[in-house]
Structure 1
Amino acid sequence: MNEKIAPELQNYWEKLEYTIPSAIQNKVYEPMKAGRDVVGISPTGTGKTVAYTLPALEQIEPKAGVQLIILTPSQELAVQVASVVKEWSSQLGLEVQTIIGGANKVRQIDRLKKKPEIIVGTTGRILEIAETKKLKLHQVKTVILDEADQLLQQDQLKTVRQLMSKIPGERQMGFFSATSNELMEDLSKWFNVDPEWIDVTDEDESKGTVLHAYIETPTRKRVEIIRRLTRMEGFKALVFVNNVANLTLAFEKLQYEGISVAVLHAEKYKTERQHALQQFRDGKVDLLLTTDVASRGLDIRGLPYVIQYDLPMNKESYIHRSGRTARMGQAGTVLTLVNDRERREFKKIIQLLEITITPLYLYGGELVKERPEVEETPGHEARTKEKSKVKKVKIKAKKETHKSSEPTNSSAASQDNRGEQSAVPNKKKKHRKKPNKNKGARKPKKD
């Protein structure tokens, strides 16, 4: 592939010190450059963005209107994809604009005056601006759906199809994801396409080594486990929580403990979400608590841990969450916190994925594979010493009391006994008459 791309892109490839293209980059280049519809399935972290960007850019004519649209399911992913596309498109003198929900729509419309050839964004906002006639789509040649399996779920499929109705029928489509679903099998019905399927899941070798593990712990102790994990050297983790309420509660507890932590979820403003993500990428916080909004496509370089505070809803969710670590040849750990009941459910998900799962234990400030003889709990050593100290004091006090109460001779003992007897008067037992049985029963009438 890298021998066939445009010279400007080839030079930038070498500048970034890229070596051999990944399997997905090699396989989709020629069919996409030829204008054919493509479905690209490849593991997370294998360079799918570059895979579809390079052949799509080479088909664009400068200053000829919007010709490439890239759709993403989240604002964060749109910003990340746009950043990558801008790097490569600048080598060809092409303009990229990001259009996402949560941003100022008036400013987005005003920036269209720069006449970008490429639009990257979320479907709803792009459709909204297109309906104002401020965004012209009649020149579009290619539409890419990044994380296509999510964009084609029922809650977003209708919006995607509405947007596609405003684009010429003679256009190329690319569908890219780490996983597929049943809806992707009906692409011909939804978009009148007959795409070439390219699935390199089994042959891709660019993904790093992942340790899939779990810690069995009661739900109420999960925040404490995470707090102890942060004491490990070099620890940094993306923590997935299933709902915002539990996420907020965990965040407040960790923050109270003095842990450097940020949150990312759909109920936050766009600027807050971007700030939290940037803080995490820059290493200013050790933990980023998030919902599945961050499970797709986000590239956080050198991330050593992914922690699942809650079980994923399905195997697809597990794949995308775990894909945030061990990207492009690096190593990483996916650590799931489960209680006894959840452990059985978790193993069912793992069996579907055909991966090996390892039980781990947190002991001595490290993750170990062997179960400790005595399980360490927070403050265990300090509490043990304190209990021992209190026990010794009680034993000593008991001995002193016993010693002081011992009589010096028999006469003293008899006097003490007499004194005791005189000091404590005998208590007489009160003899209460038992109430008559069947009290209140009617007396028999006399004849």
Structure 2
Amino acid sequence: MKEQLVPALQQYWEKLEYTTPSAIQNKVYEPLKEGRDVVGISPTGTGKTVAYTLPSIEQIRPKSGVQLVILAPSQELAVQVAAVVKEWGKQLELTVQTMIGGANKNRQIEKLKERPEVIVGTPGRILEIAETKKLKLHQVRTIILDEADQLLQQEQLNTVRQVVSKLPGERQMAFFSATSNEVMQELPKWFNVDPEWIDVTDEDQSKGTVTHAYIETPTRKRVEVLRRLTRMEDFRGLVFVNNVANLTLAFEKLQYEGISVAVLHAEKYKTERQHALQQFRDGKVKLLLTTDVASRGLDIRGLPYVIQYDLPLNKESYIHRSGRTARMGQKGTVLTLVNERELREFKKIISSLELTLTPLFLYGGKLVTERPEAEEAIGDEQMNKSKAKEKKAPTKSKMAEPNTQSAEMASPIKKKKKHRKKTDKNKGARKKNKF
């Protein structure tokens, strides 16, 4: 694949000090360059963006209108993909424009005067601008769906199909993801295509080493676990919480404790989300709390920890969350916080992934594999429960001590004398006798 690149892209490949192309980069290059429809399945962190970008931009004629459209399911992923495509497109003097929701639509329409050859964005915003007739899609030769399994879920499928309907009938389609779903098996039905499936999951060796671990702890102590994790040397963690309410609560508690933390979720403005992500990438905050909006495609270089504050909803969610660490040959840890009941459920969710789960304990500012006997260790809910019972037991015996004293040992209680005047004595009796 590397040798087949045009000279400008070859030179840039060497400038970036890239070595051997990953399996997905090798396998999809030729089919995409030849204009065939393709489904590319590859583990997270294996260079899928570069895999579809290089053969696609090599087909583009400069200064000839929009010819390539790339769809992404989230604003963050669209911005990230656009940055990669711009980087490589610049070598061929191509203009790339980002179109995402949450940004100024009029400004995006204005930028179309620069005549971009590539549009990268979210389906809703691309469709919205296309319907104003300002975005011309009649010359598009290729459309690529990044994180296709999410884009083709029910809530986005109709919008994606509407975007595709505005393209020429003869166009190339490519679908990329780390996982597949039922809808992707029905691509001929939805898009009238018969794509070539290229799945390199089993053969790809470019992914780094991931440690899959868990800490057993009660739900009420999870914020405390996060706080103690931040004391570890060189710690940075992307924390997944299932809903915004719990995320906000955890954020407020951590902020109160003085922990450097930021949040990223769909209810935040675009600028706030970008700022939080950049702070985390720059190492200015140790924790980034997010929902599954950040589980897809985001590349955070050198991220050592992914932490699951809540269980993933399914194995696909776990795959994408864990894919944020150990990218392109690096090492990383996926740490799941569970109680005793959730541990059983968690093992069922990931049972088909054939992973080795390691129990860890948080002690002395480190994660250790053997359970410490010290009281401050976190990692064994049952141990915490038993210690709590031991602490309660002496209290009960102390409370019972006064009742076990003998009558002789008990101090006598003196009755307080009533001080009455002599004339008041037997007053009640006199009144009674009077009648």
Give 1:273's aligned residue: 273
SS of the residue corresponding to residue 81 of structure 1 reads helix
Residues 359 and 377 (structure 1 numbering): CA distance in 2 closer, same or farther, change over 3 Å? closer
Shift of 1:351: 1.1
Cα deviations by residue, 1:272-300 (Å, 9 ceiling, x for unpaired): 00000000001111110000000000000
Cα deviations by residue, 1:36-87 (Å, 9 ceiling, x for unpaired): 0000000000000000000000110011100000000000000000000000
Shift of 1:425: 5.1
Shift of 1:349: 1.6
Is 1:424 the equivalent of 2:414? yes
Distance 1:426 1:246 in 2: 59
What are structure 2's unaligned runs of at least 5 residues? 379-407, 418-435
Give 2:248's aligned residue: 248
Cα deviations by residue, 1:246-272 (Å, 9 ceiling, x for unpaired): 000000000011100000000000000
SS of the residue corresponding to residue 51 of structure 1 reads helix
Q: Percent identity?
A: 82
Give 1:382's aligned residue: none
Give 2:172's aligned residue: 172
Distance 1:239 1:253 in 2: 14
> Counterpart amino acid of 2:28?
V
Residues 425 and 273 (structure 1 numbering): CA distance in 2 closer, same or farther, change over 3 Å? closer
Distance 1:32 1:345 in 2: 41
The structure having more radius of gyration, on CA atoms, is: 1
Give 2:287's aligned residue: 287
Give 2:35's aligned residue: 35
Shift of 1:377: 5.1
Give 2:382's aligned residue: none
Give 2:399's aligned residue: none
**Superposed counterparts of 1:50-129, under 5 Å:** 50-129=50-129
Give 1:445's aligned residue: none
Distance 2:216 2:112 in 1: 53
SS of the residue corresponding to residue 97 of structure 1 reads strand
Q: For the Cα contact (< 8 Å) 1:73–1:122, is it kept in 2?
A: yes
SS of the residue corresponding to residue 108 of structure 1 reads helix
> Counterpart amino acid of 1:284?
K
Give 1:384's aligned residue: none
> Counterpart amino acid of 1:276?
A
> Counterpart amino acid of 2:253?
K
Is 1:181 the equivalent of 2:196? no
What are structure 1's unaligned runs of at least 5 residues? 379-416, 428-447
Distance 2:14 2:163 in 1: 37
> Counterpart amino acid of 1:175?
F
Distance 1:105 1:167 in 2: 21
Shift of 1:372: 1.4
Give 2:385's aligned residue: none
Q: For the Cα contact (< 8 Å) 1:350–1:356, is it kept in 2?
A: no
Distance 1:350 1:173 in 2: 31
SS of the residue corresponding to residue 347 of structure 1 reads helix
Shift of 1:210: 0.4
Shift of 1:376: 1.7
Give 1:396's aligned residue: none
Distance 2:17 2:377 in 1: 47
Give 1:441's aligned residue: none
Q: For the Cα contact (< 8 Å) 2:361–2:377, is it kept in 1?
A: no
Q: For the Cα contact (< 8 Å) 1:109–1:134, is it kept in 2?
A: yes
User: Aligned-pair RMSD on alpha carbons?
Assistant: 1.7
Q: For the Cα contact (< 8 Å) 1:350–1:357, is it kept in 2?
A: no
Cα deviations by residue, 1:174-232 (Å, 9 ceiling, x for unpaired): 00000000100000111111100000000000001000000000000000001001000
Give 1:204's aligned residue: 204
Distance 2:276 2:91 in 1: 30
> Counterpart amino acid of 2:213?
A
> Counterpart amino acid of 1:10?
Q
**Superposed counterparts of 1:294-313, under 5 Å:** 294-313=294-313
Give 2:218's aligned residue: 218
Provide TM-score, normalisation by structure 1.
0.85
Distance 1:425 1:319 in 2: 77
SS of the residue corresponding to residue 173 of structure 1 reads strand
Q: For the Cα contact (< 8 Å) 2:208–2:327, is it kept in 1?
A: yes
SS of the residue corresponding to residue 374 of structure 2 reads coil
Give 1:161's aligned residue: 161
Residues 60 and 251 (structure 1 numbering): CA distance in 2 closer, same or farther, change over 3 Å? same
Aligned residues: 388
> Counterpart amino acid of 2:203?
E
> Counterpart amino acid of 2:289?
L
Shift of 1:101: 0.3
> Counterpart amino acid of 2:197?
W
